[in-house]
Amino acid sequence: MLEVKQLTKTYDGGKRSLQDVSFTAQPGEVTVIIGPSGAGKTTLLRSINQLITDDSGQIRFDDQDICALNKRDLKHIRSKIGMIFQNYNLIESLTTIENVLHGGLARKSTIAGVLSLYTKQEKEEALQLIDEVGLKDFAFQYCSDLSGGQKQRVGIARSLMQHPEMILCDEPIASLDPKSTIIVMDILKKLAKKRGMLVLINLHQVDIAKEYADHIIGLNDGHIVFDGPADQASSQDIERIYRDSAFVTS
Ligand SMILES: Nc1ncnc2c1ncn2[C@@H]1O[C@H](COP(=O)(O)OP(=O)(O)OP(=O)(O)O)[C@@H](O)[C@H]1O
């Protein structure tokens, strides 16, 4: 379980981006964070992975307070947290399988990692993950030649190579067409349901959030203004989440 308690973050010289944010997210569920631009969604994900540090509050995962870990323990807990990015963060000049194998680097010795020495078992696992995301025929293709949706699927397979218990996705479908959006969201939902993973996704698309999420967190101006089951998010709740923004409900 992920438990965020009274998290507050103010960037240097900036305004308060998160204010007293508290919620829990469960393994086996898709939790979606929605909210207008600037609401604090990315700040929240980056705090959970400690890519930025918060001013105060607690983030508990795997029975540990992530904010209070030393470097070594933080590295260990980060190896259990996969990240999926809007812009994929792939090495375009490498093939699908090479990118996926990179996902397992955190589990390898430095020398083996630097020399890109992968075992037969690791290569088989990478191929099986590539197959799982429907890219079997593209395993040896350069990522520069893949579509956006295919690249995002490589990103997911790469994060699975890390054996994560939680996946944090920062606007994973923002650059995708409707068909690729469905493929990627179906895969993420399957990871939660079949592998029992905790999947936390930042989204701008309210209709997709309502369709795929078990649990929705609504952020507005750094505050949680909705926290509940997706099927209980009413149009008034959505209006409250997007209050003072240009968002129009469909
Ligand atoms: N590095 C930074 N330095 C200063 N202020 C920042 C920084 N990053 C974000 N902010 C501010 O923090 C607030 C929250 O930003 P954040 O990117 O978390 O929002 P968001 O909900 O993810 O927005 P979007 O949907 O546009 O990506 C905004 O007011 C933003 O300007």
CATH assignment of the domain containing 51:
3.40.50.300
**In this structure, are 9 and 54 located in the same domain?**
yes
The answer to whether position 85 is within a domain reads no
**In this structure, are 18 and 65 located in the same domain?**
yes
Burial of 174 (0-12, 13-18, 19+ CB in 10 A): middle
**In this structure, are 71 and 172 located in the same domain?**
yes
Residues flanking ligand 1, CB < 6 Å = 11, 14-15, 17, 35, 37-43
- How remote is the CA of residue 40 from the centroid of ligand 1, in Å? 6
Q: What is the pLDDT of residue 227?
A: 98
Q: Which of ligand 1's atoms lies nearest the C-alpha of 46?
A: 18
**In this structure, are 25 and 63 located in the same domain?**
yes
Supply the pTM of this predicted model.
0.93
Q: What is the pLDDT of residue 115?
A: 65
Q: Best of 11, 15, 221, 225 to mutate for ligand 1, by most ligand atoms within 8 A of CB?
A: 11
- How remote is the CA of residue 151 from the centroid of ligand 1, in Å? 25
**In this structure, are 131 and 179 located in the same domain?**
no
Q: What is the pLDDT of residue 231?
A: 96
Q: What is the pLDDT of residue 201?
A: 98
Q: In the chain, which residues have pLDDT < 50?
A: 248-250
**In this structure, are 206 and 195 located in the same domain?**
yes
Q: Best of 43, 49, 205 to mutate for ligand 1, by most ligand atoms within 8 A of CB?
A: 43
ipTM above 0.85, yes or no: yes
Q: Which of ligand 1's atoms lies nearest the C-alpha of 43?
A: 18
Q: Which of ligand 1's atoms lies nearest the C-alpha of 11?
A: 4
**In this structure, are 34 and 154 located in the same domain?**
no
For residue 25, what are the domain limits? 1-80+166-250
Q: What is the pLDDT of residue 248?
A: 46
Choosing from 163, 189, 207, the residue where a domain stops is 163
**In this structure, are 114 and 56 located in the same domain?**
no
Choosing from 163, 187, 217, the residue where a domain stops is 163
The answer to whether position 86 is within a domain reads no
Q: What is the pLDDT of residue 105?
A: 79
Q: What is the pLDDT of residue 250?
A: 42
Q: What is the pLDDT of residue 117?
A: 77
**In this structure, are 171 and 156 located in the same domain?**
no
- Number of domain units in the chain: 2
